[in-house]
Amino acid sequence: MSEVAHDLKHAESEREIPRRREFSVHATPRPGLEDARPLKKRRVTDLNTVRNIARAIDMAGMILIGLIALSGLAGGVFGVELGTALPYLIMPPFLAWGLWSSGSYRFPFSEKIIDHQARVSIGASVSLAVLLLFGVVTGLGGESYYFAGTAAAVFVFLLAAHAHHVALTKHLTRRGLMSENVVIVGATPNAERLIAQNASDRELNIVAIFDDRLGRAPNEISGVPVVGTLDDLLAWSKLPKIDRIIVTVTSNAQSRVRLLIDRLRYLPNRVVLLLDLDEFNPQGASLAQVAHTPAAYVSGAPEDARRATVKRISDIVFASLMLLAFAPLMALIALAIKLDSKGPALFKQKRHGFNNETIRVWKFRSMRPDQKAEDGIITQVTSDDDRVTKVGRFLRRTSLDELPQLINVLMGEMSLVGPRPHAVGMTTEATEVHKLVSDYAHRHRVKPGLTGWAQINGSRGPVHTAEEVRERVRLDMEYVNRSSFWFDLYIMIMTAPCLLGDSSNDR
């Protein structure tokens, strides 16, 4: 018996923790993949971003009220004594801390607005009372009644601001703009508990449940359909649009959990193990919260909304400026291509994007027209390849054929910096490249880039051997782990000299 078969048999025999209740499997036809819940549009923000924006608005409003109050004192904003101005200056950060301490920036969907306003009232009133007492005891802040009037204005502003914060958060949540699309692996009581907790906060859009023991699973759990096995999930066409895969198999069934994770961890999607006991803690996992339930990330990492926002803004700004700067050159290149050979100046090809999703990448045509090439590369380019045109050879050598991908960057399908998008079906040594390296899909956990860490370190153009594929993936994963604004800026600055000084790679 093979080791995998032995593990499967062992996993079958393991006892899971006692269930709260037994699910009943009905005789009605089992749902299929087509019965999965609708996917939400990709979220435009998340709750942490909303919290940061709310704090920024509160701070800005309190600073403005403080400046207006100081302008009414003798000497104005810049002429007032430091002792008089001090309580006004420390009021915004001190109140922000008080609001945070009272839970006023949590914004759970299920919280009633009157309950939220009670939190704001407690956090703000206690903080303001401490400041007023501080002013009276120390004699700082000037006239007490004047500072009390300013404190009242701040209190009213915070109540009004938080009424809008709550209303906006609920609106975004109802429209699904802050909800992740997730699937659950394991039709277990843990899954039922997660669905029940999520029903109030609506943090997740739970699309479907998959289970490797489908014969024992119910047709649905709390309204979420059980639609297939793990094989069905791996072959599902909508998998690239799933943000997170949550494994809810009880953690004391370690062999079963290990088998599931070994099959899932090579996907670009984030894979999370729901923790119900302390016995199983995957190596290298970082703890997080999934709908207020302890969880461990076993593949991927918690999303950094601030980093993603900064990267997207920088992509839009730099790509727009580059598109304007290179517009005359791009027009000349298009004309040269048309004069050199028959066919369109632009070429679009299916490539793998974020989460392995298929995107159409724009390029200047550097080869003779080939409809098959638009659907993926059959054979990678080699030296003296007769498919490459005269103009195309120059474009590929200078990487100018990649300039139209600035359009993909502005559309949000690519980033300026990231792992280069490989063509669908690209092969090396007669084997598709994703089969040569187990971690290959991990490079798709970020958007593909116009340039990247691998490209400025000599790994660019076609990869003709398995060793070259492994080196490309190693460099791409190094970028994924080190990614930051300044690292991206360094890569962009180094791209031109590295590419133009390279004469050894086939491109």
Q: Among 91-100, 289-298, 427-436, which stretch is predicted with the lowest mean pLDDT?
A: 427-436
323-357 confidence digits (pLDDT tens): 999 999 999 999 999 898 888 888 888 887 777 77
Q: Is 70 exceeded by the pLDDT of residue 278?
A: no
Task: Give the model's pLDDT for residue 124.
Answer: 94
Interacting residues of 152 by C-beta distance below 8 A, sequence separation 6+? none
Q: Does residue 149 sit within a domain? A: yes
Q: Rounded to 5 degrees, what are φ and ψ at 487?
A: -65, -40
Q: Buried b / exposed e across 428-466, counting CB within 10 Å, b at 16+?
A: beeeebbebbeebbbbbbbbbbbbbbbbbbebbbbbeee
- Same domain assignment for residues 332 and 473: yes
Q: Please, what is the angle between helix 144-174 and helix 113-138, to 10°?
A: 160
Which H or E run includes 54?
A: helix 47-71
Same domain, 37 and 62: no
Q: Look at 284 and 233; give whichever has higher pLDDT.
A: 233
DSSP code per residue over 322-366: HHHHHHHHHHHHHHHHHHHSSS-SEEEEEEE-GGG-EEEEEEE--
- Give the count of beta carbons closer than 10 Å to the beta carbon of residue 118: 13
Average pLDDT over residues 252-272: 76
CATH code, domain carrying 194: 3.40.50.20
52 and 130 fall within a common domain? yes
pLDDT at 448 exceeding the cut of 50: yes
Tens-digit pLDDT profile for residues 78-92: 778 888 888 899 999
Give 23-39 pLDDT, tens digit per residue.
Answer: 444 557 788 888 888 88
What is the structure's pLDDT at 371?
A: 67
Asked whether residue 281 falls in the same domain as residue 141, the answer is no
Residues 356 and 335 occupy one common structural domain: yes
Least confident of 151-165, 230-244, 406-420, 423-437: 423-437
Q: What's the confidence (pLDDT) of residue 201?
A: 67
Residue-level pLDDT at 430: 53
Q: Note whether residue 506 is domain-resident.
A: no
| Predicted confidence band of residue 503 (pLDDT cuts 50, 70, 90) | low
* Residue 50 pLDDT greater than 50, yes or no: yes
Number of domains in the chain: 3
Residue 309, token pair as written in the block? 């926002």
Q: What is the mean pLDDT of residues 164-169?
A: 91
| Residue 269 CB partners (closer than 8 Å, separation 6+) | 239, 242, 243, 244, 245, 299, 300, 355
Which residues, 6 or more positions from 356, have their beta carbon under 8 angstroms from its beta carbon?
239, 240, 267, 268, 441, 444
Q: What is the pLDDT of residue 279?
A: 45
Residues 367 and 459 in one domain: yes
The pLDDT value given to residue 437: 54
Name the more confident of 42 and 332.
Answer: 332
Q: Residue 376 above 70 pLDDT?
A: no
pLDDT at residue 318 above 60? yes
In the block, which residue shows the tokens 């304007």? 324
Domain housing 402: 305-500
Angle CA 386–387–390, to nearest 5: 75
Q: Please provide the average confidence, as pLDDT, over all residues in the chain.
A: 79
In a domain, 126, yes or no: yes
Domain identity same for 376 and 492: yes
User: What is the pTM for the complete model shown?
Assistant: 0.58
Domain contains 507? no
CA atoms of 203 and 180, how far apart (whole Å): 7
State the pLDDT at residue 298: 65
Phi-psi region of 33 (alpha: psi -120 to 50; beta: other; left: phi over 0): alpha
Shared-domain flag, residues 71 and 169: yes
Q: What pLDDT sits at residue 120? A: 95
For residues 176 and 189, give the distance between their C-alpha atoms in angstroms, rounded to a whole number.
26
Among the candidates 256, 277, 299, a domain finishes at 299
The pLDDT > 90 percentage for the chain reads 23
Other CB atoms within a 10 A radius of the CB of residue 3 amount to 7
Highest mean pLDDT among 158-167, 213-222, 381-390: 158-167
H or E segment and range at residue 210: strand 204-210
Q: Give the Cα separation of 112 and 162 in Å (integer).
A: 12
**Quick one: pLDDT at residue 96?**
92
CA distance 247 to 252: 13
- 443 and 353, same structural domain? yes
- Which of 159, 174, 189 lies at the terminal end of a domain, its last residue? 174
pLDDT at 438 over 80: no
The answer on pLDDT for 256 being more than 90 is no
Sheet of strand 180-185, all strands in order from the earlier edge strand to the far edge:
220-221, 224-228, 204-210, 180-185, 244-247, 270-274, 293-299, 286-290
Q: Is the domain of 51 the same as that of 37?
A: no
Tell me the per-residue pLDDT of 187-205, one tens digit each, with 9 for 90 and over. Answer: 888 888 888 888 776 778 8
**Same domain assignment for residues 223 and 100:** no
pLDDT tens, position by position, 378-434: 566 666 677 888 888 888 888 888 899 999 999 988 999 988 887 776 655 555 555
Residue that finishes a domain, picked among 174, 189, 206: 174
Burial class from Cβ neighbours inside 10 Å (0-12, 13-18, 19+) for residue 56 reads: exposed
Residues 327 and 432 in one domain: yes
* More confident call, 171 vs 164: 164
Q: What's the pLDDT at 1?
A: 40
Residue type, 337: I
User: What whole-number distance in Å separates Cα of residue 435 and Cα of residue 146?
Assistant: 72
Q: Is residue 155 part of a domain?
A: yes
Start-to-end CA distance of the chain, whole Å, equals 48
